[in-house]
Amino acid sequence: MATRAAVCVGGAVVGWLLRGVSPATTTAAYAVAYLAGSWDLARVVLLDLRQLRFNTEFLMLLVAVGAGAIGAWGEGVLLLVLFSSSKAMETYAAGRTRRAIDALLKGAPKTARKLDGEIETEVEVDSLAPGQTIRVTAGEQVPVDFEIVRGTSGCDESTLTGESEPVSKAAGDTALAGTINLWGVLEGRVLRVAGDSALQRIIRLIHDAQQQKAPTQRFTDRFGTRYTAGVIAACVAVFFFNWIVREAPPFVSVVGRVSSIYRAMTLLVVLSPCALVLSVPSAILSAIACGARRGVLFRGGAAVERLSDVNTVAMDKTGTLTEGALRVTGVEVLAGDEAQVLAAAGSLARLSNHPISKAIAREAVRRGVTFFDPGATETVPGQGIRARSPSGIVVLGNRDLLIGVVSSDQLTALPPSPEAVNETWIAGPGMLGRLLLQDRLRPEARALVEQLRTAGLQTVMLTGDRSGPAERMAREAGIDEVRSGLKPADKVAAVQQLKAAGRCVAMIGDGVNDAPVLAMADVGLAMGARGSDAALEQADVVLMNDRLELFVLARNLSLRARTIIRQNLVLSLGTMMVMAVTTLIVPGMPLWVGVAAHEGSTVVVVMNSLRLLFPPPAE
């Protein structure tokens, strides 16, 4: 498109320079300009006409043909020069998002080093299955998501998060597909197949985002067939009014009198809503591309627009406000022995991805307990895990999960819940105990909450944890309001209450239990590529690599996008209105003025939107 636009410009310049010297050369140059400038325009119009659709491109082609028909070749070429140039820039804006995806895929490995004991074989990446062991040497790109079991290194995760600093990796950490292992040798277990890796999920999110339209964009899409028909009707009315009432010549201008068809085509140009139609999608695509490069993935234009209206930010606690890296600080045995309690807790915990379960599983491995197959298991939302072993029911979770598993006397005799730490109960035949765990606040959490308060946003913690640990974390972070002991349905109800009170709510979460409330919030934000699949599916925005501070970046980008969209709408609508009125009241207004104003506003709108690709100097 850029090449054809350049040819159109070249033909126009040659024709204009030789217009009084060589008529034949001028005509040939204008013909080349017409052919190059109208190529993409005519192709789009023909495709739409087959489906009986009349859009703004149809109006532009009609004006270009009409200008040539009445001998106004210069004005027609000017229209095509500006139109083809603006469409090339629009395509460039959309291409920046596609190039962000290409950058993620560039150099993706096709093979991986698979380990069978000490034997290393090279296999296709697509053939790797969860549980297999792979090795990644220094300088190699990580082929799939895997959990490191041996080795230390640092990984360049800039392709996924925009973070330029290497991220330290050691046993127990997760290396993500698409990142670069910078120095040491890493070995680990494959977590998921290549098609479900963090990199592939990001690519799918970006592809989906490009297909979803923003509310304002859906509004401008209404300028379609009906608007085109209305504009053509208005131009026909102007033609007959000038011809019959003002007695202007119908088709050929004379000295001192502009023809009726000339004035009708001028009105046709200025009423074509090209700049208006481009106002929103060009800004939205630029915002999505900028966010993707900096670790913020918007799942569509609606998310870009809605985030700017948020005035209340609700957050999960574990894994969102806190590091989610809980550690077991104590094991209390009320029935059975400690080894039995730890073995049962570890066997159930390793079946869950919840941060508490991961901490218990790590502690069980550290103490060298022997795991067993607990039998059929089920997750009880907001409570824990229940397993049906041959010897009876075994549960791991909160106190509510103990009902029906232990006797009423044992329930009555349970010690009170500690205020400063989390408790998780394990119960089964001849066994009862609890594990005490603690978490730490994310280092950036307090600074983030302070930034939100400065921006006038209210913060709310929604957690299934008990009030004691929740209140303690809220005080450390500076959260305005705490709602604790919530099950998934309670979190949804809490967000509904906030929305009923007139609040525009953003919810930040990461787990399976957060999926319903992410869907209920005005804007749902999931934490990073390591977030659960359920949370990622429901989220409108993904904050990469568990970086909570990216919420501020996402909101600032949303605010900038909203400002630029409004500027574009004012500019495009204002230009249309001013030029339409001018065309009606100024009898001799040249067609080229209408063309320059119309296409000039389109160019300005696209260029204004492209500013979103680059962060402001303050960032």
The tens digit of pLDDT for each residue in 247-263 reads 888 877 777 787 888 88
- Answer yes or no: do 337 and 302 share one domain: no
- Answer yes or no: do 315 and 452 share one domain: yes
Query: Would you name the residues annotated as active-site residues?
Result: 316
Measured over the CA atoms of residue 34, residue 38, residue 42 and residue 43, the dihedral's sign is: positive
Q: Whole-number mean pLDDT of the chain?
A: 80
Q: Does 517 map to a domain?
A: yes
CATH number, domain with residue 460 = 3.40.50.1000
Q: How far apart, in whole angstroms, are the C-alpha atoms of residue 469 and residue 217? A: 45
- Answer yes or no: do 422 and 471 share one domain: no
pLDDT tens sequence across 225-246:
677 778 788 888 988 988 888 8
pTM over 0.85: no
Rg (CA), the chain: 32
Determine which helix (DSSP H) or strand (DSSP E) holds 435, and give its type and residue range.
strand 431-438
- Answer yes or no: do 448 and 312 share one domain: yes
Pairing mode of beta strands 384-389, 376-380? antiparallel
- Answer yes or no: do 463 and 424 share one domain: no
pLDDT tens sequence across 533-560:
556 667 788 887 667 788 888 999 999 9
Residue 529 belongs to domain spanning: 297-322+441-558
Q: Does 543 map to a domain?
A: yes
Query: Which amino acid makes up residue 66?
Result: G
For the chain, what's the residue count? 619
Q: Which residue carries 């004379």 as its tokens?
A: 254
Q: Which residue carries 């010897």 as its tokens?
A: 391
Q: How far apart, in whole angstroms, are the C-alpha atoms of residue 124 and residue 112? A: 6
Q: Does 525 map to a domain?
A: yes
Q: Does 446 map to a domain?
A: yes
Q: How far apart, in whole angstroms, are the C-alpha atoms of residue 512 and residue 382? A: 10
Last residue of a domain, one of 399, 418, 438: 438
The H helix count followed by the E strand count for the chain is: 21, 22
Q: How far apart, in whole angstroms, are the C-alpha atoms of residue 314 and residue 296? A: 18
pLDDT tens sequence across 250-307:
877 777 787 888 888 888 777 877 677 677 777 887 888 788 778 888 877 778 888 9
Q: Does 221 map to a domain?
A: no
Number of structural domains (the chain) is: 3
- Answer yes or no: do 316 and 450 share one domain: yes
Q: How far apart, in whole angstroms, are the C-alpha atoms of residue 564 and residue 562? A: 6
- Answer yes or no: do 463 and 482 share one domain: yes
Pairing mode of beta strands 312-315, 505-509? parallel
- Answer yes or no: do 520 and 423 share one domain: no
- Answer yes or no: do 541 and 401 share one domain: no
Q: Does 4 map to a domain?
A: no
- Say which DSSP state 334 is in: E
Q: How many CA atoms lie within 13 A of 513 on its CB side?
A: 26
pLDDT tens sequence across 491-542:
888 988 999 999 999 998 876 567 778 878 888 888 765 555 556 667 788 8
pLDDT at 209 over 50: no
Q: How far apart, in whole angstroms, are the C-alpha atoms of residue 128 and residue 120? A: 14
Beta-sheet strands, E only, within 398-551 = 422-428, 431-438, 458-462, 481-483, 505-509, 523-527, 541-543
- Answer yes or no: do 360 and 417 share one domain: yes
